[in-house]
Amino acid sequence: MASNIEIKARVRDLGALQRLAEEISDTPCEVLPQEDIFFTVPQGRLKLRVLAPDRGELIYYTRENTSGPKRSDYSIFRTSDPDPLKVVLAAAWGIRGVVKKVRRLYLAGQTRIHLDDVTGLGAFMELEVVMRPGQSDAEGQAIAADLMAKLDISNADLIDVAYIDLLLSQS
């Protein structure tokens, strides 16, 4: 399984955060509409991310529900036909919920910076430090902490759960 060190935070000032992300990004911003369909599974999380009618990713991941930089282990299966896959998975596991968002993606070194506008929740950001072979969690956590400082993200901004958990807690 691949792994990353990640954080998720509420956004206080989207314009300011976007300017900071653009300053440290190695690439121009990429805007990605996404629909994540979460399935009811006995452990971890399983979601089908629909990026377009002919493009999707089935993502299984595990991570602790703690705030601050934490390890996430994941596997991704890419598909050019997400709708039939959704039907099969829904029949087998049932749908737990759906998260719709528009993601602004920036890349800074080995880190993916996501600025997310999540339907029903508002503005959030994520950092995903994509771990390299042999790299320690401590190294990834240090990279995340450095980027948090550069992006003016405080520990008070951090959240410890997935968007799906936040949406379901509102119901």
The structure tokens 């602790």 sit at 64
CA-closest candidate to residue 9, choices 131, 140, 121: 121
Task: Give me the tens of pLDDT residue by residue for the chain, a chain 171 residues long.
Answer: 999 999 999 999 999 999 999 999 999 999 999 999 999 999 999 999 999 999 999 999 999 888 889 999 999 999 999 999 999 999 999 999 999 999 999 999 999 999 999 999 999 999 999 999 999 999 999 999 999 999 999 999 999 999 999 999 997
The domain spans of the chain are: 2-170
Residue 98 confidence (pLDDT): 98
**CATH architecture of the domain formed by 2-170:** Beta Barrel (2.40)
Phi-psi group of 94: left, alpha or beta (phi > 0 → left; psi -120 to 50 → alpha; rest → beta):
left
Residue 167 confidence (pLDDT): 96
